Chains A and B, each alone.
Chain A
Amino acid sequence: MPLLSVLTAAHAGRAELLAEAGNTVAAQALPAGWELEWVVQEDGDAPELERVVKQFPFARHAANLEQLGIAMTRNVALSRIDGSLVHVLDSDDLLLPGALAVAIAAFEQHPQVQWVAAQADDLLPDGTRRSFALEWPAGLVEPGAFGPFVEERGELPVHCAGVTVRPGIVRAVGGWAANPRSEDTGMMVAVAELTPGYITPEVTWLHRWHDTQTTGDGAWRSLLAESALMVRQRSAALKEFQSLQGGE
């Protein structure tokens, strides 16, 4: 039976949002034969989310019991998953109905792809949705195609929250990177450099904007330039490294 693992890193302050996220996981209809597990990894030394997670029979909760940050927390979760696909869901975001079925269908239609990125709408604090266009067309993406975009912008043209990926390539590149602000881009830039992917035309998840987001924090803005530099350096170094090694 094929299994998809939904991976969520969370911390104690997210109890209410996490329950909402869990409800959107519970509502997913999967293609015939597929099952899902929801792997929640809680950061921090005073965990509180087990009671939320255990309401969902398909969910598994574990706690770091110390503060490790988002990248390590996701990597610890990655060590616990059993699925042949992993879908990233942030603890404050929401899946739309059919989100996982759309991703699974893309992998089945394009067996060569190792990652599928999807469109999102912003969910504003007043509950309204705001759509935005990705700066890259939907469809297949060849390995390395994002290189010039990354070099110019220090980021990717897709949203890294909400990707569905083959766990093998995530593990091969070291998972989420030890990068202060761009841990997910630091990982996905390597995945997209090395493997083909697909961008769905469908909007499948909601990116919530709220007051307790770390990205709204003034301190978060420090180290942004350094983090983008690290992303650019990895992208450029991979091109050189692959030519030396014949592929990672």
Chain B
Amino acid sequence: MPLLSIITAAHAGRADFLPSTGESVASQELPPGWELEWLVQEDGSEPHLAEIVETVPQARYHANGQQRGIADTRNLALSRARGDLVRTLDSDDLLLPGALAGPIERFAEHPELHWVATRPKYLDRDGTWFTYFLLLPTGIVRPRVVGDYLMRHRMCPLHCAGLTMRTASVRALGGWAANPRTEDIELLAALSELTLGYLEPEESWIYRMHDGQTVHDPAWGSNLVGTSYLMVHNRILAIRERV
């Protein structure tokens, strides 16, 4: 039975968001024959989320038992994945109906794909919705297209929080990178240099903005942002020298 593994890194501060995130997982309809597992990996030395997660029948919960940060936490979840595909879902986001079936069907139509990206629907703190614009054409994304955009604009042309990827390819690349601010962009950069991907036009998840997001923390915008993009840039160039 083919299996899709949803990877969610969480921490105790997300207890108010996670129940609705879990409901959005439990209500997903998958193509015939497919199953899902929801891998929740809790960061921090005082885990609190087990009871919330375990109300979702497809959930498999584990706690780090110590503070590791987002990249290590996602990679620990990845090490538990049994599916051939992994889908990222942040602990404060919500899947829309059909969020998983769309990418699964795309992989079936195009067996040469290694990743499928979808669009978020943004929910602002005041309850208003706004549109996330994709900065690349939808459809097949050839190697180097994402990398060229990243190097030119120092900005990711698509959203990394709604990617579905081949599990083995993510593992081969070392998973989420040990990069202070752009751990997910660096993973996508490497994957998209080397493999074919697909950009879906549909919105497949709700990106909830709230005051507890790390990106709203003033310390987030330190000079480590520039360093993090430099690391992405260097990785793209280094891969290009080898391919």
Contacts and interface: CB of A to CB of B under 8 A. Distances in A.
Given A66-B219, A180-B76, A190 B174 contact: yes
A98 interface: no
Nearest to A189: B174
B168 A178 contact: no
Interface string A205-248: 00000000000000100110010011001101110111001011
Contacts of A176: 178
B207 interface: no
A40 to B, nearest CB: 15
Given A168-B238, A174-B174, A190-B174, A72 B68 contact: no
Contact of B72 (A65, A75, A180): A180
Contacts of A129: none
B172 A240 contact: yes
A39 B69 CA distance: 25
Grouping DSSP codes into helix (H, G, I), strand (E, B) and loop, the B interface class, with mixed when no group exceeds half, is helix
Contact of A79 (B168, B174, B177, B230): B230
A248 B242 contact: yes
A178 B234 contact: no
Contacts of B65: 222-223
Interface stretch (B32-40, B91-99, B119-127, B179-187): B179-187
B126 to A, nearest CB: 31
Nearest to A170: B238
A22 B187 CA distance: 34
A71 interface: yes
A24 interface: no
A178 B66 contact: no
B20 interface: no
Contacts of A173: 173-174
Interface residues of B, number: 44
B175 A230 contact: yes
Contacts of A68: 69, 180
Nearest to B194: A245
Size band of the A side of the interface?
A: 35 or more
Given A79-B230, A186-B174, A233-B79, A219 B66 contact: yes
A21 B76 CA distance: 33
A8 B32 CA distance: 53
Interface in B60-82: 64-66, 68-69, 71-72, 74-76, 78-79
A124 B190 CA distance: 41
B171 interface: yes
Contact of A223 (B76, B222, B238): B76
Given A175-B231, A183-B178, A226-B76, A241 B168 contact: yes
A68 B71 CA distance: 11
Interface string A47-75: 00000000000000000111011011011
A242 B79 CA distance: 20
A69 B224 CA distance: 14
B108 interface: no
B58 interface: no
Given A65-B222, A68-B180, A234-B174, 7 more contacts: A76-B224, A79-B230, A174-B186, A180-B76, A234-B175, A241-B172, A248-B172
